[in-house]
Amino acid sequence: MTARLCLVELRKLVDTVTGVVLIGVGALLAGVFGGGALIVREGVSFSEVAQLAGVPGGTLVTVMAILLVTAERSHRTTLVTYVVTPRRERVAIAKAVAAAALALLLVVFAVVAAAVIVPVGALVTGVEASWTVEGAELTSWAAGTVVGALSGWALGLAIGNAPTAIVLVLVWPMAAGLLANVPALVPVLPWLDSAAVSGFADGIDPGDLGRFLTGLAAWVAVPAAVGLLRNMRADVR
């Protein structure tokens, strides 16, 4: 039953026009970003092409995770969902699993796209293709993509409003850059970075692990706890 519920939530990601459009845009931008890397830079490795191909998709996956949580309220289908599955926490967890699964599918797609882009780019540019694979970099990037998707799920659950959650996700990197100009906040900001997992590519040290855990708490654990509590007590309309 739980597996079926997760599959249902995963299917909801492509049941709407918005979902299909976002997936199509992500696929198109994967080719643009990955192919552009080979044209602009020389000696780009396979791992770098895969990561660059997945950059736009990573943002779109986070947005889709937010929409997965909030769309039912705006479409007024929440009541139907809870009639079929009265245990609300199971629905919320299934949405989290679907968001994480979508992020992993993005990683697979980016690697496949890189496998196509690298040889084609070598033919176009005349530069020998580099098939170097950095396992640690790809793994940390994949983990960061999953965390990003879960942060979208948690923020959508906590805020309950798609535009507000999406704006927060998109604006925060720019806001963090501006706040970095405030000397008192410089030591604090790295501990609020949801993408701190990227530091694992160079090996895990206590500082990287601590920053990752606090970022995970700030962007996933705390919003998820608030959202689950809010979801359990909210009236269904």
Domain boundaries, the chain: 2-233
Kindly tell me the burial class for residue 43, based on how many C-beta atoms sit within 10 Å of its own C-beta (0-12, 13-18, 19 or more).
exposed
Between the alpha carbon of residue 17 and those of residues 23, 73, 136, the distances in Å are 10, 17, 36
Between the alpha carbon of residue 25 and those of residues 29, 50, 126, the distances in Å are 6, 17, 28
Residue 153 has pLDDT above 90, yes or no: yes
- What's the pLDDT tens digit per position in 74-115? 666 665 666 666 677 888 888 899 999 989 988 888 888 888
- What 3-state DSSP class applies to 18? helix
Confidence of residue 42 (pLDDT cuts 50, 70, 90): low
- What's the pLDDT tens digit per position in 184-208? 888 888 888 777 666 665 556 666 7
Single pTM value for the model = 0.85
What percent of the chain has a predicted confidence (pLDDT) above 90? 10
